[in-house]
Amino acid sequence: MKSSQSINRFWGKHNRVKQRKGKVTLSALSRQMEIDQGGLSKILNGDVNIYLHRIVEMAILLNCKPGDLLPQEWLSISIPHADLTLVIEGVEDWLTQHQLTLDAAHKAALITEIVDLVHESPEARKKEIMHQHLLKVG
């Protein structure tokens, strides 16, 4: 298994955030993520650990899929797109139905939490598990 330092270095060299951010500045992105620009730069350069909730949060803010931000080489080991799509759409629908809003950081944390729950679950139970978790949160 690779060390976290080598994983961070690889992320720093090969992540695709800069390609996906378009005209959004790092300053604006860091403000939306509620971290300082130096902290965001450390994440993007691989100087600190990258957490799934930060990747999901950036994807929400950049209007793309989390996998779009990962190094190309990691795509074969990322979370199945179907699981992530199910959870993102489920959370968005649930928030709309309950007339609730969450900032990007809280929405990303919720999505990450639910993806962790459904990822290892049998296909037939994924929606049920997601809905049960959302009821606990609501």
Show pLDDT as tens, one digit a residue, over the chain (138 residues). Answer: 456 778 888 889 989 998 998 889 999 999 999 999 999 999 999 999 888 889 999 999 999 988 899 888 776 655 666 777 888 888 888 888 988 888 877 887 788 888 878 877 888 888 888 888 888 876
Tell me if 137 sits within 8 A of 87, measured CB to CB. Answer: no
Q: What is the DSSP letter of 49?
A: -
Hey, how many other C-beta atoms are within 10 angstroms of the C-beta on 87? Answer: 27
User: Cα angle at 24 between 54 and 72, to 5 degrees?
Assistant: 55
Write down the CATH number for the domain with range 4-77.
Answer: 1.10.260.40
> What are the extents of the domains in the chain?
4-77, 81-137
